[in-house]
Structure 1
Amino acid sequence: MEILDDYEINRRLEDLEGWEHKGDALHTSFQFENFKEAFSVMTRIAFEAEAQQHHPEWTNVYNELMISLSTHDAGGVTEKDFKLARSIENIIDSAE
């Protein structure tokens, strides 16, 4: 999988509200009403990540979920990261 350059990453980020490019990854965070809601969304994301065979780095503290996406095999951001980011956005949107 080919690493995307900064121009292409920034262009694609225009379609993903709340995501940013830092280092070799895409980053975002979400806040939910409570831990149960956050964990429920994490479970849905986990099933999608497994289906795509691409897994996020994430942390969860109570109602906040922080996500980083990077294609470690390639050493940076690739199309796989944007595909999963769009799927995550769809999951978040359907949870609201």
Structure 2
Amino acid sequence: MAVLSDDDVDAVLPELDGWERSDGALRRSVEFPAFLDGIDAVRRVAERAEAADHHPDIDIRWRTVTFALVTHSEGGITDKDVAMAREIDGLLG
């Protein structure tokens, strides 16, 4: 799987809800109304990620959850990361 160019990533970002390219990954932070709402969202994302065998890095800070997507084995952002970002968008609404 090929790493996407910066131009390719920039072209798809407007289609993704709240994602940005940062430090070589796609990143999105979401603030939830309560801590457990964020934990529930992480669980739902984890189930989809496991099914796809493509796992985001997830950082939980009280009510804010940050998802970071990069295909480590390829050394950059790939179509798998864009697809998972879309999955996460669908789960979070």
Aligned-residue identity in percent: 34
* Helix, strand or coil at the partner of 2:15: coil
Shift, 1:37, TM fit:
0.5
In structure 2, what is the equivalent of residue 42 of structure 1? 42
Which letter maps to 1:54? H
> Superposition pairs for residues 24-63 of structure 1, below 5 Å?
24-63=24-63
- Per the normalisation by structure 2, the TM-score is 0.97
Counterpart CA distance in 2 for 1:12 and 1:59 is 23
In the alignment, structure 2 segments of 5+ residues that lack a partner are none
Give the Å deviation of 1:23. 2.5
Structure 1 portions without partners, runs of 5+? none
Alpha-carbon offset, residue 58 of structure 1: 1.1
The alignment yields a C-alpha RMSD, in angstroms, of 0.7
Query: Secondary structure of 2:74's partner?
Result: coil
Once residues 58 and 50 of structure 1 are traced to their aligned partners in structure 2, the CA distance between those partners, rounded to angstroms, is 13
TM-score after normalising by structure 1:
0.94
Distance (Å, rounded) in 2 between the aligned partners of 1:6 and 1:44: 29
Query: In 2, distance between residues paired with 1:37 and 1:21?
Result: 25
- Runs of 4 or more consecutive aligned structure 1 residues displaced over 6 Å after TM superposition: none
Query: Which residue pairs with 2:12 in the alignment?
Result: 12
